[in-house]
Structure 1
Amino acid sequence: MTARVRVVSYNIHSFKDDLGALAAVVADLAPDVLIVQEGARRFRWRQKNASLADRLRMVVGGGGLWSLGNLVLTTLRVRVLETHDVRFPLVPGHHLRGAVFATCEVPGARFVVTGSHLSTDPSIRPTQGAAWRAAIGTHDLPVIAAGDLNAEPGESTWGVVADGLHVAGMAPTHPASGPNRQIDGVFVDKRIEVTSFRVVDTPTARRASDHLPIAVDLVIPD
């Protein structure tokens, strides 16, 4: 058996932009799983993330404070079986970073989704990318990894994360007002078939965040 799943990766810019536009973009994409960067991670983070999920007509699957703002939202089609968070080593003077992991089930397949947001400092990113990739490697189920790497293809961080995985596609995602940098990516287990990849660049998406979302359609084996 196999299952068809749509996954969207989206840096939502810490709720700073047009949330109505954000909801419209997500509603149009209709993802089964939404992997969010820059969700709420501090004061009243549970309420803020729950309110976001309600606005998007989804539910919180995992993440938040303990994953440093990385968040997994799902529809009711997806059953979240288990979640855990990873924190990368703290470098003094820099933000603490981490990743969220969620083991998911849909009729026909089980899989793991993970999201992260790596440092803007090029001296720190490769170590964080390696820590994330090592955590990905502990899972036997097919893994879908998505995030804001703050690095482009060809940089060492991108290669560290992509090692042994399939890059779902490539297109610029940032800044949303005129995208010319590909710093967001989706990486999938080689057992997963990617049937479509797109970066959503519309007037509504340009109002919703400073990043454009990535949407991928996948076929996941049992």
Structure 2
Amino acid sequence: MQLPSSRTEPGGAAVVRLLSYNIRSMRDDRHALARVVRACAPDVLCVQEAPRFFRWRKHAAWLARSTDLVYVTGGATACGPMILTSLRATVEETEDLLLPRTPGLHQRGFATARLRFGPSARLSVLSCHLSLASAERRAQTGLLLDRVRDWGGRYTVVAGDLNERPHGRSYRRLARSLQDGWTVSPWGGEHTSTPSDPHQRIDAVLATEAVQVLACGVPRPESEPGGLPGLTDTDLRAATDHLPVLAVLRVPAGQ
């Protein structure tokens, strides 16, 4: 299957490429990371584990500049999740949300943005990295779904590291309310962890019913059938400790 390209259709609907990627605070090969993102050519990049400590804005700016994207929101202000976009997106609203913290565990948050593509195709985006602790993760899942409902919009996408496989309680709760991109329209590979031994799917792109998922999965290197030009297995292994999830979404006009 050839991956659909980004475009605005007659009538105003938009086809949007969204990439979700846990980048492990850019502690690995950042140049390989940038090459992976550029090969995927996203309109929206939902990051997890963005740099969030000393001079984090400088690192975020480097990533944006090196991938031909612009910083939108998140990073330290959301305790890790971050959103970047291409110039194709018009940013209408952003908000970073800090979640209740369990003593002894990491602070978590959501990076959120409302984006417009073309004259009237609007997409609300939430980047998340859920807890390793099951009880806290279940509570965060409820807050995530509350946020989706509070937006009141039909066209919403959630992307992130869920720290749980599809059979898990929190993942199943999300999949009951949102489309699981891989389940709806699988493309490429399924497993996101780890690059050297992909054996589990803990990263996902999920969308409300009104968003059409055209394709979703782990992009394959150019050496494999259906692989992305410019994407190499070497870079996928060197960039970080997760594989990215690339989704192509069709967002209707007129919200």
> TM bucket by the smaller chain?
over 0.9
Distance (Å, rounded) in 2 between the aligned partners of 1:162 and 1:139: 18
**Which residue matches 1:39?**
50
What is the Cα deviation at residue 160 of structure 1? 2.6
Distance (Å, rounded) in 1 between the aligned partners of 2:24 and 2:107: 17
The answer (yes or no) to whether the contact 2:25–2:52 under 8 Å persists in 1 is no
Give unmatched runs, 5+ long, in structure 2: 1-11, 184-189, 221-232
The answer (yes or no) to whether the contact 1:149–1:158 under 8 Å persists in 2 is yes
**Which residue matches 1:194?**
213
The correspondence for 1:211, drawn from 242, 246, 253, is 242
TM-score by length of 1: 0.96
**Which residue matches 1:152?**
165
Distance (Å, rounded) in 1 between the aligned partners of 2:219 and 2:24: 16
Alignment root-mean-square deviation, CA: 1.2
**Which deviates the most, 99-108 or 39-48?**
39-48
- Taking the TM superposition and a 5 Å limit, the aligned residue runs for 1:136-151 are 136-141=148-153, 142-151=155-164
In the comparison of the two structures, how many residue pairs are matched?
A: 222
The correspondence for 2:97, drawn from 86, 100, 104, is 86
- Taking the TM superposition and a 5 Å limit, the aligned residue runs for 1:61-80 are 61-80=72-91
Q: Whose Rg is larger?
A: 2
**Which residue matches 2:199?**
180
**Per residue, is there more strand in 1 or in 2?**
1
The correspondence for 2:177, drawn from 164, 171, 180, is 164
**Which residue matches 1:117?**
129
Equivalent residue letter for 1:112: S
Distance (Å, rounded) in 1 between the aligned partners of 2:30 and 2:56: 17
Kindly, what percent of the aligned residue pairs are identical? 37
The answer (yes or no) to whether the contact 1:88–1:128 under 8 Å persists in 2 is yes
Give unmatched runs, 5+ long, in structure 1: none
**Which deviates the most, 62-71 or 210-219?**
62-71
**Which residue matches 2:59?**
48
Distance (Å, rounded) in 2 between the aligned partners of 1:111 and 1:188: 10
What is the Cα deviation at residue 137 of structure 1? 1.5
Distance (Å, rounded) in 2 between the aligned partners of 1:137 and 1:87: 18
